[in-house]
Structure 1
């Protein structure tokens, strides 16, 4: 999501562009294959089982970067979603509009070989590998649509920032309880080799039980691993809390409260793991 006003050249009014799958180079396909193989090998014991079940939707008949035409046939049959290519970040309200209509926007470019481990701007690997497998899961697919619908309402109320925090700490960097274990589901984690290890294993970050209002007040950082991860109980519970909640009173309270600083713990938090915060304080990621 981003505050952008100028429509890029060649983009349709809804900011979509052709994927132009045939223009990808052999090197770009090789980068996808290398990233896919690495993440698919290390995630099974770490990621929520629904992600691995959905990963098969990305195993295309052609090697390399998925062709959206083929991908969308599979995805639409499963949950009615489709992936549309965009030139980069899109305006907030357009982003919400696409989600509300079961369209997931994905950048068409892929990172360079020297950027395998970190890229601040989301590329097609992050957008497609990270997000699409869970769009096969009916409940998570409904959550994403409900989020888009909620975003359109939030835009009219001037509360997009609060909704952005919810997206960040669930869709991008969420953890989920799986029996007695914690598992990954956020796309920003599962598409990153380093953060797939850090989010579950490192003693540095806090791991906190999900609370909707708390999350919507919580600031985040976009330039490094997270200092807080929020843990949901299930996708069903996440959908129930966000779709059924009356957000009006929450928005009013948010207007009168300062945002919560990155890395902070509150007395009311349900703390599953109080992190050392060593990674952030030492500047290890700088």
Structure 2
């Protein structure tokens, strides 16, 4: 596995000190997984479940990022790269464009099982990484990083941020005539996932126009999400968004 050379992201790259995790932290991880896995086995996209198996994520102990990357890289060329915390946009986009997923190494406390305002290793690894084992999704995510890294236009980045939000973070897909979740915000949040599978969130067919025009709300459970029929659809939507926003083909 090749080591990426970063510029904007370089100051944020760290090593995961796996031996420093405590028994309590491993127990919190096990509790977090135990809370959501039964519903995900019934309601997550098959591609997510396949990825979960491929990276061999443990239920009872925190993930070792080197081990996960060693299993993931031969499949799609992606790896989970440990970072010190929340990244500024240029560093984040640079890492995605190089098929390196910026992964925090800290874990929420037992008092914050349901929600943490800043992504932790549970959100980043359990929520995001299994989908990186799906080649079409992996290519989509890299292209998203490349496109965002190529512009500093705030309006364009806000629009593309909505596409990211309604796919990578809160994406749903129709499979076998059912709504299945694949977005990391749904996968890693018991409350958000239940909000969708219980029918309290309206689901519309994915429309690039509507997604780009729908503002993001971070302080309440979602009332509307957009279902794709395949991951080819978000791959094609990203290329269409690039043509429209960066090349003026509105």
TM-score calculated relative to the size of structure 1: 0.78
CA deviations 1:15-44 (Å, max 9, x no partner) are 211111111111111111111223222211
Larger displacement relative to structure 2 (64-73 or 150-159): 150-159
1:230 and 2:245 aligned: no
1:70 and 2:49 aligned: no
Query: How much does 1:156 deviate?
Result: 5.3
Query: How much does 1:80 deviate?
Result: 0.7
* Alpha-carbon spacing, 1:114–1:238, altered in 2? closer, same or farther (3 Å): same
Equivalent residue for 2:13?
Answer: 16
1:43 and 2:40 aligned: yes
Counterpart Cα distance in 1 of 2:60 and 2:199: 34
Larger displacement relative to structure 2 (123-132 or 144-153): 144-153
* Alpha-carbon spacing, 1:17–1:253, altered in 2? closer, same or farther (3 Å): same
Counterpart Cα distance in 2 of 1:125 and 1:177: 25
Aligned pair count reads: 243
* Alpha-carbon spacing, 1:174–1:31, altered in 2? closer, same or farther (3 Å): same
User: In structure 2, the residue corresponding to 1:36 is in which secondary structure?
Assistant: helix
Decide which of 23, 28, 31 is 2:25's aligned counterpart: 28
Taking only aligned residues, the RMSD between alpha carbons, in angstroms, comes to 2.3
Structure (1/2) with the larger helix percentage: 2
Equivalent residue for 1:284?
Answer: none
1:129 and 2:126 aligned: yes
In the alignment, structure 1 segments of 5+ residues that lack a partner are 1-10, 255-286
Counterpart Cα distance in 1 of 2:226 and 2:246: 18
User: In structure 2, the residue corresponding to 1:111 is in which secondary structure?
Assistant: coil
Counterpart Cα distance in 2 of 1:176 and 1:24: 35
Equivalent residue for 1:210?
Answer: 206
1:88 and 2:80 aligned: no
CA deviations 1:48-83 (Å, max 9, x no partner) are 111111112443579511111111100111111001
TM-score calculated relative to the size of structure 2: 0.89
Moved over 4 A (4+): 60-63, 249-254
Larger displacement relative to structure 2 (183-192 or 60-69): 60-69
In the alignment, structure 2 segments of 5+ residues that lack a partner are 1-7
Query: How much does 1:200 deviate?
Result: 2.3
Counterpart Cα distance in 2 of 1:216 and 1:179: 27
Counterpart Cα distance in 1 of 2:125 and 2:227: 23
User: In structure 2, the residue corresponding to 1:45 is in which secondary structure?
Assistant: helix
